[in-house]
């Protein structure tokens, strides 16, 4: 939802047209999350449908300006005042890949980890090369860019640490790595039951 809410927050500063919104979004994110104009206008259509923005004046160049409504301003305030929704479970492709690889017969998980670590370190190097070499960024746009890039750097560094941890864990407990062959049992309908340890942890989170 961050694109939707970000565009609303920009419109809360004043009416904008599509290309202007894209430029303003780029200024505030350091162009690290590129949006195409089609995505901007489809988001505006949904915001208008939901009563959060309305179409306003059209200038001499044919640009249609969108203005935020009171309901839209209230949603911006709610977004800024609440924590980002962190979904339970994981959709992290790397974590799922290694979890599956560790249960497949004949797979050298160490090689898989090394391949992923090499890719992560290469990405980290590119991000570090893109920084201001330790100097403070100039102006609000530079600061916005630095905040986003810093978050990307920390995320990749955490990924590398997790890969190291995974490699060490597999080495410490080789007995836990058992190949899972295809089950001969016919699966039941519905979601599979969670292991008891995971279920208890989920109950604690929900409490």
Q: What is the mean pLDDT of residues 77-98?
A: 83
The pLDDT tens digits for 137-166 are 678 888 888 888 889 999 999 999 999 999
Determine phi and psi for 58, rounding to 5 degrees: -115, 130
Prediction pTM value:
0.66
For residue 134, pLDDT beyond 70? no
Determine phi and psi for 104, rounding to 5 degrees: -95, 135
* Residues in Cβ contact with 128 at an 8 Å cutoff, skipping those fewer than 6 apart: 153
Contact (CB, 8 A) for 43 and 35: no
Q: What is the pLDDT of residue 191?
A: 62
For residue 195, pLDDT beyond 60? no
Average pLDDT, the chain: 84
The pLDDT tens digits for 17-34 are 999 999 999 888 877 778
Tokens of 44: 């505006």
CA 43, 47, 48: angle at the middle one, nearest 5? 115
For residue 63, pLDDT beyond 60? yes
Domain coordinates in residue numbering, the chain: 2-81, 93-180
* Residues in Cβ contact with 43 at an 8 Å cutoff, skipping those fewer than 6 apart: 3, 4, 7
Q: What is the pLDDT of residue 193?
A: 56
| CATH 1.10.10.10 corresponds to the domain 2-81 | yes
Q: What is the pLDDT of residue 27?
A: 85
Determine phi and psi for 147, rounding to 5 degrees: -60, -45
Q: Which of 150, 157, 156 is nearest to 132 (CA)?
A: 150
For residue 205, pLDDT beyond 50? no
Q: What is the mean pLDDT of residues 100-119?
A: 89
Cα(4)–Cα(84) distance, rounded to whole angstroms? 13
Beta-bridge partners for 68:
53
Q: What is the pLDDT of residue 2?
A: 84
Cα(68)–Cα(53) distance, rounded to whole angstroms? 4
Q: What is the pLDDT of residue 78?
A: 93
Q: What is the mean pLDDT of residues 110-137?
A: 82
Cα(39)–Cα(28) distance, rounded to whole angstroms? 17
Q: What is the pLDDT of residue 33?
A: 79
Q: What is the pLDDT of residue 127?
A: 87
Percent of the chain past pLDDT 70, that is, above it, reads 82
Tokens of 47: 């915001």
Q: What is the pLDDT of residue 207?
A: 46
pLDDT band at 54 (very low <50, low <70, confident <90, very high): very high
Q: What is the pLDDT of residue 1?
A: 53
């Amino acid at each position: 939802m961050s694109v939707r809410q970000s565009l609303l927050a920009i419109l809360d500063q004043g009416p904008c047209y599509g290309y202007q919104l894209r430029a303003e979004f780029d200024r505030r994110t350091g162009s690290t999350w590129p949006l195409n104009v089609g995505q901007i206008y489809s988001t505006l259509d949904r915001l208008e449908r939901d009563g959060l923005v309305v179409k306003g004046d059209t200038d001499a160049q044919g640009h249609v300006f969108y203005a935020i409504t009171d309901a839209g301003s209230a949603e911006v305030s709610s977004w800024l005042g609440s924590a980002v929704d962190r979904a339970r479970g994981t959709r992290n492709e790397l974590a799922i890949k290694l979890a599956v690889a560790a249960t497949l017969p004949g797979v050298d998980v160490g090689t898989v980890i090394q391949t992923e670590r090499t890719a992560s370190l290469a990405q980290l190097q590119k991000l570090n090369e893109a920084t201001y070499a330790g100097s403070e960024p100039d102006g609000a746009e530079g600061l916005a860019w630095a905040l986003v890039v810093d978050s990307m750097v920390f995320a990749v560094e955490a990924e590398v640490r997790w890969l190291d941890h995974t490699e060490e864990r597999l080495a410490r407990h080789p007995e836990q790595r058992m190949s899972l062959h295809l089950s001969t049992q016919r699966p039941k309908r519905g979601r599979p039951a969670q292991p008891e340890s995971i279920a208890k942890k989920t109950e604690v989170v929900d409490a």
